[in-house]
Amino acid sequence: MLNATIDSFAWGSLRPRDDGNIKIESVDLGLCLEFKAQDEMRLDGQLDLVKAALSRLEAKNSHGFDIFLKSDAPPGSGLGSSSALMVALVGLVKELKNLPFTDYETAQVAYAIEREDLGILGGLQDQYASTFGGFNFIEFSKDRVIVNPLRISPDILNELEHNLLLCFTGTTRRSDRIIEDQIRRFEEGNPEALNALSQQKQLAVDMKNALLRRRLDDFGDLLHNAWQAKRRMSSKISNPLIDELYEVARKHGALGGKITGAGGGGYMLFYCGFECKHKVADAMRKLGASPVDFAFEAHGLQTWRIHESGTGR
């Protein structure tokens, strides 16, 4: 899998306290929960990501703490915001308890909390991308994950940023239903879905090679092929709005593009020649989509401590 991180972040802070209370506040969800450190944290649909992380990592202590969370991207956007938030939570507890996690262990713990403890369908890519950051070619096998950082020259990164257009479609979606349909098709041995998956794997390799060989127009064409293959994995990945946005973007000069994440809504990414990027952006606005500025981000998970008024964070 070929992956890159952008400057859309999940933020968190953990502030120790000494009264035995725990407070969790999420800006994005408008929720604030408070309970005693010794209370049981029930998974009841309210900030379950946080509760599951605290439980697995045995983070509750007798002194208590405050957790504050904020994400730049909304849930269901296809930008991996939920997994990025989970990685941030693991990072907070890692810092609190001085846990000697490697990046691989951090990503794997975040994956286990989401997929095993909470039963949220999905893969491993978002947790590893958020933890490591930067451009990576990630290889997944049955018993291990290998993250290969890509050494892409600064001029190619600059050209990519200038030529790529990120647009919010105006709708979010629940990715688990789309993933559930893909899993069903794979388990049934659907020839079209299996062939599309195989093609996606090869295209990821081809796109990596195009970047490393500085062939950006080839990269744009391969992005188009990858989207055609992705659409065949499930009928739920695209919809009439996404199809129209893609067709119009191509008519105005985009070489290729794709929906981010599982599909069904969220953000679309297009590769355009810089001279026609503004035309594609204008066409997207007329259809109700919103172009969004972004830059690539080289760093993954970062944690730090500060001390103020005798307390640590």
Q: Indicate the residue type of 216.
A: L
| Torsions phi, psi for 171 (to 5 deg) | -135, 150
232/180 Cα distance (integer angstroms): 15
Kindly report the number of other CB atoms within 10 A of residue 36's CB atom: 13
**Short-list 201, 189, 90, CA closest to 140:** 201
Q: Are strands 135-140 and 2-4 parallel, antiparallel or unpaired?
A: antiparallel
Distance CA 281, CA 296 (A): 19
Residue 68: name the closest of 81, 50, 53 by CA: 50
Question: Cα–Cα distance between 135 and 299 in angstroms, integer?
Answer: 10
Q: Is-catalytic flag, 7?
A: no
SS3 254: strand
Question: Residues with Cβ < 8 Å from 244, sequence gap 6 or more?
Answer: 287
- Residue for token pair 């996606």: 200
The contacts of residue 177 (CB under 8 Å, 6+ apart) are 236, 264
Strand ranges (E), 121-250: 135-140, 145-149, 164-168
The pair of structure tokens assigned to 31 is 């929720």
Q: Which of 19, 39, 44, 126 is catalytic?
A: 126
**Is residue 120 a contact partner of residue 83, using CB atoms and an 8 Å limit?**
no
CB within 8 A of 17, min separation 6: which ones?
63, 64, 65, 66, 311
> Residue 100 has what DSSP assignment?
-
* Active site positions, annotated: 126
